[in-house]
Amino acid sequence: MAEARRSRIGWLPLEKPLVELEEQIEELRGLLNSDELSPEERRYYRREVRNLERRMETLRQEIFSHLTTWDKVQLARHPERPYTLDYLRLIFHDFLELHGDRLFGDDPAIVGGIAFLEEQSLMVIGHQKGRTLQERKQRNFGQARPEGYRKAIRLMKLAEKYRRPVVCFLDTPGAACLVEAEERGISEAIARSMLTMAQLRVPIVVFIIGEGGSGGAIALGLGDRVYMLEYAIYSVILPEACASIIWRDASKGPEAAEALQLTAEGALRFGLIDGVLPEPLGGAHRNPAAMAATIRAQLLAALEELRAKDVETLLEERYQKFRRMGVWEGE
């Protein structure tokens, strides 16, 4: 996802100061492709490109060192942010996608299957939002229906049968709120998925790579180790929905985002996750390969640690980990 190929659609409001510099750089690079330039002109344009690139890097560092909570919400939702299938391609090899819940059908909002990391065989499951409008509609913008979570349950039990660790990638605004989802038991499917993960007798590693929204995320989030990307979010409700309930005004989403403490730093402070993975300057979409390498290294380290534990210790530590969450201590 080279920066040179990015369009204005890929820019967020917080990045607008960078747009003019980007256009100037592209214009000069176009001139450098001309055969009519003299050696002196070519050297001049190359020098100007380097100067503009340095200015752009300095400006980007300044912008990303002063991000608000709402800025991070926008980054978590960036349309070019890497999704589960992107990380599957960059981190694993020989991925074999498995379909269907054997009860109703297949839900494209959740993808999963067998993949290899070095010589290790794993079961990888995650939300998939889709890139094009058609694909987003097909995948319901990553909002899974009951059959999606029941597919995930089936794959997790398959992993347990063959003693394979489970890796989950969370990236959803929430579970599907469609009438048919309610009719087919979305709440039960989420609860069943959480129960399955609580009892699963193999290691589970979870990465929150974008939006970790409500029960749609926690349904796949009950892991032995849970990590968040630096600009990911994790919340019981979308900021706009929270604002609509509290203030009857969805435009107050930025204020709600501050109150919800939904950033990676907030989740770590409250003990909801085990670590924050730094993103490349500008966000994971600026350098997906570098972000994938960071996730890969953390995954390998977590698996090495978890594989050393016997099953009963693994289950007890997992239980205690989530039992400690949400404890309030009065004065």
With respect to residue 114, please indicate whether it lies within any of the assigned structural domains: yes
Which pLDDT tens digit goes with each residue over 21-30?
877 888 887 7
With respect to residue 2, please indicate whether it lies within any of the assigned structural domains: no
Domain end call among 24, 39, 66: 66
Q: Determine the pLDDT at residue 206.
A: 98
Q: Determine the pLDDT at residue 26.
A: 81
User: Do 229 and 261 have their domain in common?
Assistant: yes
User: Do 136 and 166 have their domain in common?
Assistant: yes
Which pLDDT tens digit goes with each residue over 49-79?
888 888 888 888 888 888 999 999 999 999 8
Domain end call among 66, 89, 108: 66
User: Do 58 and 191 have their domain in common?
Assistant: no
Cα 195 to its chain centre, rounded Å, is 23
Domain end call among 27, 46, 66: 66
With respect to residue 42, please indicate whether it lies within any of the assigned structural domains: yes
Q: Determine the pLDDT at residue 167.
A: 98
Q: How many CB atoms lie within 10 A of CB 75?
A: 25
pLDDT for residue 47 is more than 60: yes
With respect to residue 3, please indicate whether it lies within any of the assigned structural domains: no
With respect to residue 188, please indicate whether it lies within any of the assigned structural domains: yes
Region of residue 214 (left: phi > 0; alpha: psi -120 to 50; beta: else): left
Read off the pTM. 0.88
User: Do 208 and 109 have their domain in common?
Assistant: yes
Count: domains in the chain = 2
In the structure, what pLDDT confidence band is assigned to residue 307 with cuts at 50, 70 and 90? very high
With respect to residue 219, please indicate whether it lies within any of the assigned structural domains: yes
Which pLDDT tens digit goes with each residue over 136-180?
999 999 999 999 999 999 999 999 999 999 999 999 999 998 999
User: Do 156 and 282 have their domain in common?
Assistant: yes
Range of the domain at 188: 73-323
User: Do 38 and 88 have their domain in common?
Assistant: no
With respect to residue 263, please indicate whether it lies within any of the assigned structural domains: yes
pLDDT for residue 4 is more than 70: no
Q: Are 174 and 140 in contact (CB under 8 A)?
A: no
Q: Are strands 110-117 and 225-229 parallel, antiparallel or unpaired?
A: unpaired
What percent of the chain clears pLDDT 70, i.e. is strictly above it? Answer: 95
Q: How many CB atoms lie within 10 A of CB 211?
A: 27
Q: Are 302 and 18 in contact (CB under 8 A)?
A: no
With respect to residue 329, please indicate whether it lies within any of the assigned structural domains: no
